[in-house]
Structure 1
Amino acid sequence: MISVLLADDQHLIREALAMMLEFEEDLTVVAQCGRGDEVLPAVAAHNPDVIVLDIEMPGLDGLSIAEQLPGRAMLILSTFARPGHLRRAIAAGVRGFIPKDSSSAELASAIRSIHAGGRYLDPELAASAMMAGESPLTERERDTLSLAASGASVAEIAAQLHLSEGTVRNYLSNAITKLGTPNRLTAIHHAQRMGWL
């Protein structure tokens, strides 16, 4: 029997997934989490064979969780299947990535494949990621743009990252230039759409 932990902040979707997986003779859902910050304690308590994570959850996002669980069999199941998310997930050791509109049979097959040590990537998403290429942003540019996306001012970003306001402005300007956008807001939207933030 393959034990599964499901983490998704949408209660109805999480419950439906759990019910669908319980119909499979070789799969059992041992834990469900509605917040990202509940996942690590649930993994410690239940030691699931496969962890199925949504990307966007309160408390902690699925990609950040994956980065804290190296060596675990993990699958990202997300509405927001962006190329940058796939690259970050693979870098974190995630072995599967499929969109939420996949069939229950495809999800069960992905879980089995990952449990057996294989990979399971949605072909359309894999092709999009290859065509999109790597993020042109440095880690600092990404950090400053992410904080700007949350509504932080230049002064607040500088304080949080322990940088001068001029350095923050330079990082933001570099990000805007690299993304080929006319302003900070457009740069944020473009980077989010690509999954680079």
Structure 2
Amino acid sequence: MLFEHLGASPRIHPEAVIAPTAVISGDVEIGPDCQVLHGAVITAEGGTITLGSHVIVMENALIRATAADSVHIGDHTLVGPMASISGATIGDEVFLATGTRVFNGARIGDRCEVRINAVVHLRTHLAPGTVVPIAWVAVGEPVRMLSPDRHEEIWAAQQELDFPGYVFGLDRDTPDLMVQLTERYGRSLARHADDHPAG
């Protein structure tokens, strides 16, 4: 289903195939020979989303742009089932396996492979050809690859990257952080109240 959001409607190349249960909302451009499968959600929340040619977005994947971070996915890239991309730039011929998570401001170079349940964290940059192992976390620039059992190192890197500050503009030490975050983000998401089917 295609939705107009904030005055912008999706633009789908006539050679792309969109499953009837996929949701595409806002300023989204999908190139030729792309396949967007059942349950996928591609939503431009104030930023733009562009998919090159021959991009495959599998079942229940989520691709979201923000006002601060648009999304670009290069040619011949596969976004696996239940993968999530938020405000990132993905190169050509990239494989994002099932359950991968790519966060705001990340840049993934051409021919990278992010394996099952791996994470590419906020503002992390992967050089072309990089492989992130199953369930590992890639974090920072220069990138560090950390296995999931190294939580303290991952947490230290996350604090430096400042997720609440970068994504929501809030200081992590704010006493009522979640109150401010949910109210601010809720107001932003409420802009969907005026969405309507495109076409």
Q: Fold match, TM over 0.5? A: no
Structure whose residues are more often helix by fraction = 1
Higher relative contact order (CA 8 A, sep 6+): 1
Structure whose residues are more often strand by fraction = 2
Q: TM-score, normalised by structure 1?
A: 0.30
Pick the structure with greater CA Rg. 1
